[in-house]
Amino acid sequence: MPHSPAIPAPSPARPPRRIVSRRRLLEGGAAVLGALALSASPVAAHASGRRAAADETPEWNDFGVFR
């Protein structure tokens, strides 16, 4: 009984890629960087040698965060 030649199985179809605009990418990146900067502000202020009093509000880049 002859065998049929080995034929590779076709690859499964990939789902279509979602297109994301450059504007959305920039906005998302800016939001992430802003959140990181605000969450790390007390650490960054302490690391740079500036000491804030315990009763003062946190500052980021000499701008009061909770004013």
In a domain? residue 7: no
Q: How many domains does the chain have?
A: 1
What's the pLDDT at 60?
63
Contact 40, 67 (CB under 8 A): no
What's the pLDDT at 18?
84
Cα separations in angstroms, 28 against 8, 24, 60: 42, 6, 20
In a domain? residue 56: no
Average model confidence (pLDDT) across the chain? 72
In a domain? residue 38: yes
- Give mean pLDDT, residues 11-31: 88
In a domain? residue 27: yes
**pTM of this structure:** 0.37
What's the pLDDT at 24?
92
Question: Which of these ranges, 3-12, 16-25, 57-66, has the smallest mean pLDDT?
Answer: 57-66
Supply the range of the domain harboring residue 27.
23-47
In a domain? residue 55: no
What's the pLDDT at 28?
92
